[in-house]
Structure 1
Amino acid sequence: MENTQALDQSQPGLSKRVKKAIERQQLSQRTEQSYLHWITRFITFHDCQDPEMLAEEEQHAFLRYLDERAQVSRARLNQAKQALVFFYEDVLDKVESRDTAAA
């Protein structure tokens, strides 16, 4: 499933919202690619559920999965954490506790 399809399946118009937030923050192309990758993996990990309905526990579950089961490197795990913080704060306008970044 393509990134934009997964995002829009979880919430119509979500891919456009992500891209607009990326433009507002003037993120580099590499950061944009990385964030889109991790946001899409997060959405597909939770079966394309509406991310507005996912609580911090679901974010922690995804990060635990990456750390323990997928065994991604510490740098990649940090990228995923930052992508989720960006996604919830800058795209969905939800202020999450910084516990997500510490998970």
Structure 2
Amino acid sequence: RSSLPRFLIRGHLDATSCAVTRPLTGELLVESAEVAIKSIELQLVRVETCGCAEGYARDATEIQNIQIAEGDVCRGLSIPIYMVFPRLFTCPTLETTNFKV
């Protein structure tokens, strides 16, 4: 069994509740990494939950994947996060008794 290399990445999002008409923004900072970084990617995943008599079924689908850094980034340098939500595959959170997106 191989172990993962040690790293420390800090960051923040400007908002945790987002309007789908506005981009997701924030920043991250690589403080340390034992090995060289190849790239940093941000993935948007839609999770759908449906309830029925047998229980709940969850399905996660990758909607968008963007690369926010390429190569071994400088340590201590702020990297901006700016992701526009795709209009055709993104929707506001919807929650009912038996269904949640």
What range is the shorter-chain TM-score in? under 0.3
Q: From the CA coordinates, give the structure whose radius of gyration is larger.
A: 2
More strand by proportion, 1 or 2? 2
TM-score when normalising by structure 2? 0.25
